[in-house]
Structure 1
Amino acid sequence: MLSAVYRKLALALRGTRPPSAVARGYLLAPGVRSFADESKRAEEPRTFHPALLKFLVCPLSKKPLRYEASTNELINDELGIAYPIIDGIPNMIPQAARTTRQNKKQEEVEQH
């Protein structure tokens, strides 16, 4: 029985025929009632939900992050780096982060 459902789903994904009611149920995201709702949802820009901050930490220092709404970034003040948020999803890859501070030599020159 389950293999028949997967077969129907595979055919629907290939576009050979319109998806059946069962396949549509598997294709829709949780909480979406129809494909019309899904298309409306896709047009809305996705934003970061600040409640996720209690679960996210910096992958380098393992310290909590701060959300900066104006730049749409997660900031690690200790290391001076900012992780971008793209379509509501934080990009926590260290190579994708930008530095928020100038290098230490420039900071020292400015302080003196």
Structure 2
Amino acid sequence: MLSRACCRLASALRETRALQSAVARRCLHASGSRPSVDPSERAEGAFDPALLEFLVCPLSKKPLRYEASTNELINEELGIAYPIIDGIPNMIPQAARRTHQNKKQEERVTVDQN
């Protein structure tokens, strides 16, 4: 009985992944967006910059900038950077780090206050 339940769960998970993939393809097709790199040429786990059209900062709801050298999504306005792990952006605010630019702004404010 347990093995039958595991088989059903595994089957449901496969169907869900296939559905999510199909929905993502339809969204990209409907928006007229094309992948910047042929998916067969892109490295496994690499971030696809075409996703920037759909991703926004969860805090400010503003567009993000992809920084390839650090593999992060940057919010210039708030001065925070979200890491990209195995090609998947970690958009949890607690996982973001403060960027150097933000530290400079904080230093200027404290100097101005003194």
* Fold conserved between structures, TM > 0.5: yes
Shift in Å, 1:10: 1.7
Distance 2:7 2:70 in 1: 41
When Rg is computed on C-alpha atoms for both structures, the one with the higher figure is 1
Q: Which residue of 1 aligns with 2:7?
A: 10
Structure 1's unaligned 5+ residue stretches are 1-6, 14-22, 31-43
| Structure-2-length-normalised TM-score | 0.57
**1:30-45 alignment runs, 5 A limit:** 45=44
Structure 1 stretches of 4+ moved >3 Å: none
Name the CA distance, whole Å, in 1 between partners of 2:65 and 2:56. 9
Listed as ranges, the matches of 1:1-112 within 5 Å are 7=4, 10=7, 45-100=44-99, 101-102=102-103, 104-108=105-109, 109=111
Scaled by the length of structure 1, the TM-score of the pair is 0.58
Q: Distance in 2 between matches of 1:105 and 1:84?
A: 22
Identity of aligned residues (%): 66
The alignment covers a number of residue pairs equal to 80
Unaligned runs of 5+ in 2: 19-42
Give the structure with the larger helix fraction.
2
